[in-house]
Structure 1
């Protein structure tokens, strides 16, 4: 199946009360070059947590915006692509039917799903909703990230087409294992076995198996440890 895609890029900007971010992006219609670190003209801030080979592109399903607008009617005008800082937006692709390791053809490029997006506290500032990141994680409406297997020329005029499925773990199941289940070594081992899983997620799951405990989510979700 082929999916029509909208494409967004943008630079890093300064934000009062928060750290620099490249979440504010604009729609791009023309041809772009995609390389192993992302689209030309696109940037990521704080590259320890964003960007890099495993996180070259961010994809967010456009159908999630209806949910968020209903959840927060007073901020409904905020919930339109690319409010979550996504590079790619589609209809008909969600976390339920996209799998870890899925490989898509896009123009001359091949891209591979590497992990769900891990929501961070910057989203709380961006939307003016103190627990936005927590809600995204709880509801599993997070979107996902890609690595670039083969770069080349791409554009919004060219569809995404699934060409290989190499694991049996959907993004929804990956999020459930990582964030919603109590400690489960067997499930962590299963997630680690998913072809294409990002180095970051491999590290997290392996650390859990070695330590016997789940890390504190609050530093990522709220910008602070504990509580």
Structure 2
């Protein structure tokens, strides 16, 4: 499968209440360089939680924006790419048919899905919706992140092409296991077995198995 792609990058800016963020991105056309840490010129604030080798690119399905616009009609104009701070935007590829470990060719580069995106409280400020991060997580419309397994020149004029599928766990199912199901050791073991899973998600799932409990996500979702 081949998916035409729109490409976005952003610089860190200060935001009242939420602190610095690079969520406000601009569209780029033509050829770009993709490194191990993402697109040249793209920045991430708070690198403990954003960016890094396993989170080099963020992808958000463009078709979700129509759903958000229907849910918040008074803010409909805000809901268009790249409102969620994504680097890549496509149609036809969603959490339902994108799988952990999927490898895509993009120009000279190869990129691999590592995890669903974990919504954070900065989205609440960005959209001026007090529980936007929680609503995004509950909906399953979260998008996903990539690692770059082969850097190279990429382009907005070249599609993403699926070249390898290495697991049977979709991004949607991974998000459901992590956030929507009660404690389930067997499901955590399944997710840990997915080739390509990010180190941070593997650590979280293993900690749950060892501790016998689900960690508190309230700070990530609310900032409190």
TM-score relative to the length of structure 1: 0.98
Tell me whether 1:166 sits opposite 2:128 in the alignment: no
2:66 maps to 66
Tell me whether 1:78 sits opposite 2:78 in the alignment: yes
Secondary structure at 1:32 match in 2 = strand
Offset of 1:106 from its aligned partner?
0.1
Offset of 1:17 from its aligned partner?
1.6
5+ residue gaps, structure 2: none
Offset of 1:118 from its aligned partner?
0.3
Tell me whether 1:204 sits opposite 2:189 in the alignment: no
The CA RMSD over aligned residues, in Å, is 0.5
Tell me whether 1:3 sits opposite 2:3 in the alignment: yes
Offset of 1:16 from its aligned partner?
1.2
5+ residue gaps, structure 1: none
4+ runs of 1 displaced by more than 4 Å? none
2:18 maps to 18
Secondary structure at 2:22 match in 1 = coil
Q: Per-residue displacement from partner, 1:66-125 (whole Å, max 9, x unpaired)?
A: 000000011111101000000000000000000000000000000000000000000000
Q: Distance in 2 between matches of 1:43 and 1:114?
A: 19
TM-score relative to the length of structure 2: 0.99
Q: Distance in 2 between matches of 1:82 and 1:69?
A: 14
1:135 maps to 135
Offset of 1:38 from its aligned partner?
0.2
How many aligned positions are there?
Answer: 224
Secondary structure at 2:153 match in 1 = strand
Secondary structure at 1:60 match in 2 = strand
1:150 maps to 150
